[in-house]
Amino acid sequence: MSYLQAPLTPGRLPLKNRLVMPPMATSKAEPDGRVSQALLDYYDEKSRGGAIGLVIIEHNFISRQGQNRVGQPSVADDSMVEGLARLAGVIHANGSKTALQINHVGGAPGEAIPGVERVAPSDRQDRTDPAIQVAREMTLAEIAAIPGLFAAAARRAKAAGFDGVEIHSAHGYLLNQFFSPLTNRRTDDYGGDVHGRIKLHLEVIAAVRAAVGEEYPVLLRLGAADYLEGGSRVEDSVIAALAFEKAGVDMIDITGGLSGYVRPGHSEPGYFAELSEPIRNAVTVPVILTGGVTEPEQAEELLAAGVADLIGVGRAILKDSGWAMRAMREA
C-alpha cells in the first residue's frame, strides 16, 4: 500500500486515505448563500468515485457582515441547514467524508455587500489609496460576539451531517488578520505578541467545541506565514498550533497567510512544506499540506518525507475531476 492510499487512524476523523480536496471558492451558491443545484452538481462531480479521503467545502460565511462575495455559501442561520444537508449527502453518497469550512471575511478585500460595514482587528486602508479606509477597528463588544457566531455555524454544520468543521484562519480573513502583526496593531489583550494575537482563536475554538461536543472533529486552517516583512512567521505558527491542539483542534490545515494560497517565488510541489514540517514535528494531531501538487508521485514523496500527514490537491482536481481516481490507481 502506498503512503497516499494508507488510511488515517486513529483520531476523531479517521479517513480511508491521505488525499484531501481543499476548500476552493466557486461562487456557485444562490445570491442569499443557499446551496444551489450548481453547487451540488460541482461537488458531486468532484467527489464522484469516492477516491478523495476528505472533501473540505469552500468557506461559508457565519454572518452577513462576514460575507466575502455574492455566490458564497452561507451557514449564517438555521434556514441554511437543509441545503447544506443535501450537499453533505451528495458527497457521502459518493463515498467520501466532508468537512464544512466556516469563515468571517473581516477587513479582507471583497465585494461590497449592501448595508455591510467591514470590520477588522485594526483600521485598514485601501492598498492602492491609503486615504480610503476599507475597514474600521472592531470594538471589544464586536470581538466578543465572534466566538458565538462561529459556534452557531459549527452547530449547523454538525446538524447538516458534515463529518467535521474547519475554522478558517488563513488567506487574510478575519482570524488571520488577528494572527498577523501587519493587520493586528491592537494594544489590548487581543494584540501584541503571538499569545495576544491568538486569544480570539482560542475563544472561537472553545465556543465551537462547546457547541459541537467533545467527539465532533474540529479542524483549523492556519495561514502559517505571511511572507511579508514584519508579518507572521513559522515560529509564531508553531506556538499557535500547539495552543490550538491543547484547546481541542483535531487537525491543522497549513497554507499561506496574507499572501494567500501562494508562496511568492515558489511553485514546486508542496511549497508550504517549510511551514507544515515544523508544525507537524511539534503537534500530535494530523497536519494537512496543500500547494503545488499536480501528480500522485509528488504527493507520495511529500508523505514519505514526513512533512505532513495528508496532502491537499486543489487546482489539479479543479482542472480534472478524474484526478483523484487516477491518483489512487497509480499510487
Mean pLDDT, rounded, for 124-133:
74
What's the CA gap between 287 and 255, in Å, rounded?
11
Q: What is the pLDDT of residue 110?
A: 80
Residue 216 lies in a domain: yes
Classify residue 193: in a domain, yes or no: yes
Count of positions (residues) in the chain: 331
> Domain containing 150 — which CATH number?
3.20.20.70
Catalytic-labelled residue, pool 3, 173, 190, 261: 173
In a domain, 79, yes or no: yes
pLDDT at 154: 99
Per-residue confidence (pLDDT) for residue 45, from 0 to 100: 98
Domain range for 120 is 19-330
| Sign of the CA dihedral running 85, 86, 92, 96 | negative
| Cα maximum dimension of the chain | 58
pLDDT at residue 284 tops 80: yes
Hey, what's the cell of 28? 456557485
Q: 37 lies in a domain?
A: yes
Tell me: cis bond preceding 10? Omega within 30 of 0 counts.
yes
**pTM of the predicted model over 0.95:** yes
Q: How far is CA 155 from the centre of its chain?
A: 17
Provide the angle, in degrees to the nearest 10, between the axes of the packed helices 234-247 and 273-282: 40
Split at pLDDT 50, 70, 90, the class of 115 is confident
Q: Is 3 a catalytic residue?
A: no
Grid cell 467524508 in the structure block, residue: 97
Total of domains in the chain: 1
The answer to whether position 2 is within a domain reads no
61 grid coordinates: 460565511
Residue 38 is assigned to a structural domain of this protein: yes
List pLDDT tens digits, range 192-238: 999 999 999 999 999 999 999 999 999 999 999 999 999 999 999 99
Specify the pLDDT at position 52.
98
106: left (phi over 0), alpha (psi -120 to 50) or beta: left
Cβ pair 96, 47 in contact under 8 A: yes
Residue 134 confidence class, pLDDT cut points 50, 70, 90: confident
Is 12 a domain residue? no
pLDDT in tens, 58-82: 999 999 999 999 999 999 999 999 9
Lateral strand order in the sheet of 124-125: 119-120, 133-137, 124-125
How would residue 100 be classed by pLDDT, with cut points 50, 70 and 90?
A: very high
Domain-embedded: residue 230: yes
Contacts for 129 with CB less than 8 Å, ≥ 6 apart: none
